[in-house]
Structure 1
Amino acid sequence: MSMLMCKQIQPLQHIPTGGIDLPVLRSRHQKEKVVVIMGATGTGKSRLSIDLATRFPAEIVNSDKMQVYEGLDVVTNKITEEERCGVPHHLLGAINPDSDFTAGDFCNMASVAMKSVASRGQLPIIVGGSNSCVEALVDDDDYTFRSRYDCCFLWVDVSMPVLHSVVSARVDRMVDAGMVDEARKMFNPSADYSRGIRRAIGVPEFDRYFRFGESSDEVVRARLLQEAIKDTKINTRRLAWRQLEKIYRLRNAKGWKMHRLDATDVFRKHGREANKVWEELVLAPSMDIVSQFLSSFEHKEHVDARQLRVAAMGTAMAAATH
């Protein structure tokens, strides 16, 4: 993400849809508005969230289950303070790194954050790569989220061959930015890599290097380091595949209406040309989609969850008697 963008963009106080403010769009009969940005790792989700949040009155709710933990900012690729451009972020670096953070925990904390954001007349923008957490939030068992919120799903997509190159280059930049030293501080010979922040890609991959490499000769140490970096790249690519498969399932099997934004050509360019393509293919369409979304009205469904379950049971029983 270019830091120049933060300096150029001035936050808008009004939504560019006829000057209608968010509070005006809401009443007790209207659903709250929420934008959800999805996509595989490395596609530019964070960049888009900042671009939108600096043009609409918005705050960001993180939905990456590794970035929710405190620490390992480089390993988990957290957006930096400078990159945030002054936009408030929630659920970012907020959880003890040794605790287990579940999808249920995310639902509870995200719900509180969204209510807080909406109460200030701001638009909540949910962004992150943990699609299982987003699914648990949106499609909860008692229909609470859907009855309260009207969602706009933006899907930033990049062709997988191009994304593989992007991911590899990003891991190299992370190594240059101190990823190895950061992971070393978390190393514990008896660590459980199935809990807390140690599940993050870039931690278990370096176990052998920290365990054996630093006491070995220079050749062995260099080989183990390169193997750890290679494994980190491979596992990040696998993560991207899983994330993409989950998005397809949410769209095709569950019927989530997603606005797909193809950012592939952005990563085939460099410098100003890449920024220009981003603005044309991703940012401009996203702004149009969000503007239309915010100016549309959808009635809030005041339905008690217990009534829904009772009605469903009654229908099933009636069908069984015929």
Structure 2
Amino acid sequence: MNQDRPTIDIDDSMADAAAHWCMRLHEGDCTTAEREAFGRWLAADPRHAEEYQAMLAIWHTADLLPRPAQAIGHAGPVRRSGRRWRAQAYAAVIALAALPLVGWIGWEQGWVPNRYQHFETTDHMQTVQLSDGSTVQLNLNTDLTYLNFKHQRRVTLKHGEAFFTVHHDSTHPFVVRAGNGQARVTGTRFNVWKYQDTVKVTLVEGSVLVSSEGKTGYRLGPGMQAIYRKGDFEPQLLENSNFADALAWRSGKLVLDNLTLEQALPAINRYLDKPLRLADSGTGQIRISGIYNTREVGQLVNNLPKVLPIYLTRSNDGSTVLNRISPPPAKR
């Protein structure tokens, strides 16, 4: 879905079926029988798969559109369930896509984007170009979506890490939403990392305004970093941060410079299928240093007992737990 104005020209019955399956498969009560029926529908006609992929793009976009109250500038709360809003937004996007005039009005009001791009990496890095001319380098295990609205360019970083080289446009701000905050620029080079509820922004060149839940923002200069977590009223500026370490992933390196395990685990866990856990706070205070290949972090985990006073165990869910080896009692 990457075009100047949202339009569609498809068979109505096929579109209805694709919309039905898209909604059902995203509901928690979708049954095994329904999934099997969906498989049969896909196999019945090659066009069904194409239509379903188009509907998935619309579905993904619906999640990123402004809520109705936001769209009309209403400041009060909107009491709607997540499922009800999702269905309404989804229906609205289909309606706007189907009617060029209504779609144009939505674009003019800033409610509907005219460009949509979605990128996802797993075990490899990727460099992509956005429709506005900006480039983004994606780290492993990263999910990113770009929407171009009339009044702003908007990126949503669901998880992972990305380095942005933003095409300058002073009248069309570039906003990266991650977690419960955002970074706003007009043209610059910066890095955004999101792991669980933690987001870190590192500025290389230009200027970036970082804000969190409380909407209080800090403007970063080159070499500065800010971090925020869910519930933070304002971001925290990081002092004495190592600029090079934060960007080492672009060369496939993970740099741990005399960090406690508590500090290092978020950086390590982003490369693992199942996160490492600490047995206790004492284990978390053990320090680790080194430079590692981001593709071989699993091997790093297996080697930790060889370089640190720890041993590994497994939790009930299969996660690896780091346990401190207690020092022998002092001789009297």
Normalized against structure 2, the TM-score is what? Answer: 0.23
Structure with higher Rg: it is 2
More strand by share: 2
More helix by share: 1
Normalized against structure 1, the TM-score is what? Answer: 0.23
Question: Which of 1 and 2 has higher RCO (CA within 8 Å, sep 6+)?
Answer: 1
